[in-house]
Structure 1
């Protein structure tokens, strides 16, 4: 009988040197990979959290146009994702480029996506249905290009290390730096854009697009991919095998469903925060910054403390506690502001947001670790890691969740009437931009014509007898005027424009001349610069936006808004927790058992 050949013994010195080199490579990869998440999440947050705000407050659309665009983003994007995401995962899994399995797609996706973002916010000459077509096209392009980067990026994470402590460390830092990117985006964007929406988003689009590209180029040149295993080096992944892999991994399917509930629930607060603040407090980007700081700094601190907390409690117990904390915060947010005993104040709002953010961040960290461990589960069950195929479901569900929360936001804004009311803001923002580009004679003519339109309306309010006819007459006058029709003024909002304050800047000093509807246009003179201010002004006079949005908000609007921001997230977060408690089996002990079995199986093949 032939004796089985034994593998040659490896000298301890060589083993130690190889391990030292592996650790050194891991540390380098870890920091380059994870820190790049700042730029990635800035780009993601710009679209996920602010695209709808830009459309709502920066572009004049009818209710039908806004609703259709939201459906394209929500439904059309997901239909495309159902085709594109798994296909992209299979392409990455079967790719064999010299520069690696993941890095080429990370950088190609970033370069193309960065360009799309820049164009998305810098082409502003379109309105109405032409804007709907343009933004629908750009959004689908963003989906396609970001998917290349996203699947490549998250598929690379589990390949950095299979050691529990190293993987937890890399995962923690990935989420931490993503959180930092989210804080930067959510804190800076409102401050830059509120009060000058169109110009602000032009600048933000260019900045975020370039930062995203730079961060992913850093991954391409800074991260060294580990060598592929022998059974992966030549195999092509067919679509049949791709779907078989996904279907056979019951743990990743349950985690995907849990992630969907979490992604939708956790996003609603930030998605509707601007509307809440503008309606309850006022149109002020600084207030939004305080809220973001409370949310973001808490998230960062939790990410830093997560390894110590999870070591003491374990992931399952930590998830229960974290959801309980978040739900308490949501309950407090739902109750505040309805009586003088429990008023709506920014400090109280920030305090309860800290509870929500802390709870959600702890749950999310544990969820990401659970999702990442599904790669080893795939190897344990099927004998193959298939990182890209397994990891495809996380970004797909993240985007699917973003689309669902977009649809929920759209329903809330349209059914409550908030969207219609907010169009006074988008009209004011657009006119501010147009007014700034006109010369002084043009500005004088603009003021005189708007005052004439206001007189035509005769103080009639919406719903009053004769209002619709008066609006039609004003709209006809605007359309017939070759100068004024270029400003794309909606006749329904001329009175809101009249509430804007005209300022004069001369010799470095800015003076408030008064509201447009009361101003003598002859007061404007060559040599000075004039602006149409729609937000806060130095004198403290009430802004045109607050007069036409906050002060006209109804109780129905506020109740529906609060339900969407608090009750719905609680239901979804509890659903996400229930699924992981009842269906997910890969705890710390199970994970260690899988690694031991995989290692034993691999050694038996040597």
Structure 2
């Protein structure tokens, strides 16, 4: 086993962490807006405001958890214990989010605010450590890419299960009552999610030790951000990419139910997400040959091509062309998902190399911050556009409402991907990576030699 090589048991256990998160939070990202408007009975405007407020509050907790991780020092490590501490609360709160108490309209809205914000905060508590632990699992760049790929494969498996199976399970368990169906479905997903997070805790190990202090004060951690251009780019990329993806996911139900006129096709449409697994498996090879930045740009370009194909299918009313476009776009997604966490881990090395401060928790919390802030803006923007188009729940939609749904489903993701490509053009880490790794390894060896000489 080469230096910092991680065994397969640990690799798979690490991947299960993202399976757990997606198994639970993908339901929220994909179906909660529909659940609130068409099942729980909240207005579209109220839901849009809720999503914006909740996600902005929620996005701020990611850096807080990042700072807490940097200040954590336990026998289990810095990031790993959060899987143990927060797995069960995460499952409980996720289930309560899809519970429908018999309350007044204002009572329902208050309940939605409390549960939605709470589950988002706890989600940060289990999701930020998934990224922050990666630089501690291995200092080998290729091994990190493999781990990031396995994590994303695990996440996609969770997403595929959710997108393909949620509505059929809701229908089967609800027996005509979507309120009961969504509750029991989320309870089942939550039980599996909690089990997987605890498995991640049990089988992973933080083996890359920071020279010197194990606790990084907030003021010192901030220094790792100074001049860390790759970090700023990754914050923006997380924000813009997840905003586009969330807008598309949230609108999928509305698009097939209204524009296509057949909601039963939604599970079929979602099931094509398995195509992502193929590009995820190719990610380590592509990133090794053309670099991580170029591989991610390739993924975004393929995604744009897929969206354009769906637009053509929409214009010629070809369901086959729409499905084909979705498959193409989904293939591109794998290259992006496989590298986001890896490129964030790179910013930890860059911060240590440039500023002599290794703040894994603070820097990698950018992943959750950017993603959740993007999701919040996405929810508000989706609701605002649908409201402006005149969308009315459970009614035949007007032409303007159908155009609003189409714009959200097809064109906004294209705009977001184009902005992501533009940002990546300024990313320079790949050219510096070899030198950074050599310098950091020499620094750690020198520190170890100095400590050994003190003991002697």
Note whether the superposition's TM-score is higher than 0.5.
yes
Residue 566 (1) aligns with residue 410 (2): yes
State which drifts further: 354-363 or 220-229. 220-229
The Cα shift of 1:303 comes to 0.5
Equivalent residues in 2 for 1:424-503, closer than 5 Å? 424=394
Partner of 2:373: 400
Separation of aligned partners in 2, 1:331 and 1:78: 31
Partner of 2:49: 71
**In 2, are the aligned partners of 1:41 and 1:178 still within 8 Å (CA)?**
yes
**In 1, are the aligned partners of 2:139 and 2:208 still within 8 Å (CA)?**
no
Partner of 1:355: 328
| CA shift in 2, pair 1:144/1:319, >3 Å | closer
Instruction: Figure out how many residues of one structure are paired with residues of the other and give that number.
Output: 444
After superposition, the C-alpha distances for 1:177-221 in whole angstroms (9 at most, x for unaligned) are 101100001111122235542121011121122111111111121
Equivalent residues in 2 for 1:346-385, closer than 5 Å? 347-385=320-358
**In 2, are the aligned partners of 1:33 and 1:219 still within 8 Å (CA)?**
yes
The Cα shift of 1:229 comes to 2.6
Separation of aligned partners in 1, 2:422 and 2:40: 41
Name which one, 1 or 2, has greater alpha-carbon Rg.
1
Partner of 2:257: 278
What secondary structure is seen at the aligned counterpart in 2 of 1:302? helix
What secondary structure is seen at the aligned counterpart in 2 of 1:246? coil
| CA shift in 2, pair 1:321/1:205, >3 Å | closer
Partner of 2:222: 243
After superposition, the C-alpha distances for 1:497-544 in whole angstroms (9 at most, x for unaligned) are xxxxxxxxxxxxxxxxxxxxxxxxxxxxxxxxxxxxxxxxxxxxxxxx
Corresponding residue to 2:168 among 191, 199, 210: 191
The Cα shift of 1:248 comes to 4.4
Equivalent residues in 2 for 1:66-465, closer than 5 Å? 66-82=44-60, 84-193=61-170, 196-226=177-207, 228-233=209-214, 235-238=215-218, 240-285=219-264, 287-294=265-272, 296-338=273-315, 342-345=316-319, 347-418=320-391, 420=392, 422=393, 424=394
Structure possessing the higher relative contact order (Cα contacts under 8 Å, 6 or more residues apart) = 2
Separation of aligned partners in 1, 2:127 and 2:297: 29
| CA shift in 2, pair 1:311/1:153, >3 Å | closer
**In 2, are the aligned partners of 1:172 and 1:304 still within 8 Å (CA)?**
yes
Separation of aligned partners in 1, 2:420 and 2:3: 40
**In 2, are the aligned partners of 1:325 and 1:359 still within 8 Å (CA)?**
yes
Separation of aligned partners in 2, 1:355 and 1:253: 29
The Cα shift of 1:80 comes to 4.6
Corresponding residue to 1:52 among 33, 38, 42: 33
Separation of aligned partners in 1, 2:58 and 2:19: 27
| CA shift in 2, pair 1:246/1:197, >3 Å | farther
**Structure number with higher helix proportion:** 2
Please, what TM-score do these two structures have when normalized by structure 1?
A: 0.70
The Cα shift of 1:227 comes to 5.9
Long gaps (5+) in structure 2: 450-456
What secondary structure is seen at the aligned counterpart in 1 of 2:98? helix
**In 2, are the aligned partners of 1:412 and 1:560 still within 8 Å (CA)?**
yes
**In 2, are the aligned partners of 1:269 and 1:566 still within 8 Å (CA)?**
yes
Separation of aligned partners in 1, 2:342 and 2:77: 24
Separation of aligned partners in 2, 1:109 and 1:577: 35
**In 1, are the aligned partners of 2:48 and 2:381 still within 8 Å (CA)?**
no
After superposition, the C-alpha distances for 1:230-254 in whole angstroms (9 at most, x for unaligned) are 3133x3423x334333344232012
| CA shift in 2, pair 1:330/1:371, >3 Å | same
**TM-align CA RMSD:** 2.1
Separation of aligned partners in 2, 1:321 and 1:200: 39
**In 2, are the aligned partners of 1:58 and 1:197 still within 8 Å (CA)?**
yes
State which drifts further: 169-178 or 376-385. 376-385
The Cα shift of 1:392 comes to 0.9
The Cα shift of 1:275 comes to 0.5
**In 2, are the aligned partners of 1:260 and 1:398 still within 8 Å (CA)?**
yes
Separation of aligned partners in 2, 1:153 and 1:369: 11
Please, what TM-score do these two structures have when normalized by structure 2?
A: 0.91
Separation of aligned partners in 2, 1:220 and 1:392: 19
The Cα shift of 1:26 comes to 4.0
Long gaps (5+) in structure 1: 1-18, 425-548
Partner of 1:435: none
Partner of 2:453: none
Residue 579 (1) aligns with residue 423 (2): yes
